[in-house]
Structure formats: structure tokens, C-alpha cells
Amino acid sequence: MVKKKSNLSVLLIEDNLAIAKQVAVFLEAQNWIVDCATVGKQGINLALKHHFDLIILDLNLPDMDGLDVCDAIKRTADRNIPILMLTARDAFEDKAKGFGIGADDYLTKPFDLRELVLRCEALARRPLLHGENFLQKGLLSIDCRAHKAMFNKLELTTTGIGFRILHKLIEEHPYPVSRSDLIRHLWGDEPPESNALKSHIYGLRKSFEKVTDRPILCTISNIGYQLQALDD
């Protein structure tokens, strides 16, 4: 059994004071430490200056779009801080944008506070999300801060989702990642109806083909995908 992590340090970026108070009181009752920001710029400053286990981010902020806040934090923080987005926007396109720029989970308003706690605990149990922003395995390296991937000193051209796939695969290397785990990692509990994963894998393979003739991104039958041939 996985032990729940207690005493989480959480940054809540929410401009609706009633919602912010309700969430903060509930989380503090779990013995969590909650800091709050009501505007995007304040949230970014707090996220970059202090250590938080995760960030709960509302998309509808008065000074800037929550997507831009998420992007700024993911690009400039010295570690990959898990971000759970809160929003009244339930369209798939909006969620896809959030995941594409690095959001780690999504919860649509109105929500059950108990579910919020469970999702936060799940994010906090992913130790790889708290690692350094630079990862390297053999000739392949990724810089999460700059959203840049390199193979043998040549830059790979990746989309936002393609980069997230690559990040997941390099974290798990040398082990394969199942299709279901990748889909859950990219889109949470609401995957697209089409075979979007296959399309993004195809695009990532094409990126590798431009810089090497090695078969880097391989399909593992009945399992999923794996990075191979990364060493000199």
C-alpha cells in the first residue's frame, strides 16, 4: 500500500475569495500548509520564491490567463512543480491546451473537495515530478525549463504534447510505458475519442528521424512504447 503524504505545502492561486477560503480551510484540516494568491503575477512570484509540493491553479484570473501562469511557472521554475488546474471550462480543447503546456491534472468546477484532496495526494506521490528540470539518458537530453530536447547535440522539434510524451519516456527509461499510462498522463480521465496518442507518437518518431537513423522510439507489442539505442 502506498502511504499518503501528509503536511503537504500547497500554493492555491484562486481569485474567488469564497472558493479560496473553502478550499484552504478544507486542506488545512488535512494538516496541509496552504499559501494563497489571488492574481496570476502574485502566484508566479510565490511559486518561484518558495518550495511547494504542488500548485492548485484557477484558469480564470483577473490579471492573466491561468494557462499563461502555468506556462510561466513550468518554464522558469528550477524544479518541475505539479500543477492541478481548476476551471469552469469543460471543453476538451481547453483541457488539451492546459495539458499541452505542462499541467499535470485538471478538475472542473464545481468539484468535490474530497476528490481535490485525492488528486493532490496522487500528484504528490509522483516523486519524478519533483526532480530537476534537466534529464539525460545517453545521447538524449531534455530541458524542461526551456522545453527543449536534444539528441547527440541536435535539437528535436516537438509539440507540447510530444515533449510531455518524451519526458515521460525518459523518466521511465529503460522500462517501457504502457499506452494507458501515457494516455492518463497526457489527458487524465478524459482522453480524446480519436487515436490521438498514435498521432503524437508518429510525430515524435519523425522528429527523431531528422537527427538520427537509429530506431529510438520503439513500440513494444501489447505493452506500449520505450526509448532504445540512446547510448554512444
Q: How far is CA 34 from CA 46, 151, 224, in A?
A: 12, 40, 38
Fold classification of 133-227 is Arc Repressor Mutant, subunit A (1.10.10)
In tens, the pLDDT along 127-136 reads: 444 455 778 8
The pLDDT, as a whole number, for residue 5 is: 45
C-alpha cell at 19: 472558493
Per-residue pLDDT at 159 exceeds 50: yes
**pLDDT band per the 50, 70, 90 thresholds, residue 16:** very high
Segments of the chain assigned to CATH 3.40.50.2300? 9-129
In tens, the pLDDT along 19-78 reads: 999 999 999 999 999 999 999 999 999 999 888 889 999 988 999 999 999 989 988 876
- Any idea which architecture 9-129 has in CATH? 3-Layer(aba) Sandwich (3.40)
The pLDDT, as a whole number, for residue 227 is: 95
Segments of the chain assigned to CATH 1.10.10.10? 133-227
What b/e readout covers 64-101, taking b as 16+ CB neighbours within 10 angstroms? eebbebbbbbbeebeebbbbbbbbebeeeebbbbbbbb
The pLDDT, as a whole number, for residue 126 is: 64
Report how far residue 33's alpha carbon sits from residue 158's, in angstroms, rounded to the nearest whole number: 37
In tens, the pLDDT along 20-33 reads: 999 999 999 999 99
Residue 128 · residue 171 · CB < 8 Å: yes
The pLDDT, as a whole number, for residue 143 is: 86
Residue 52 · residue 81 · CB < 8 Å: yes
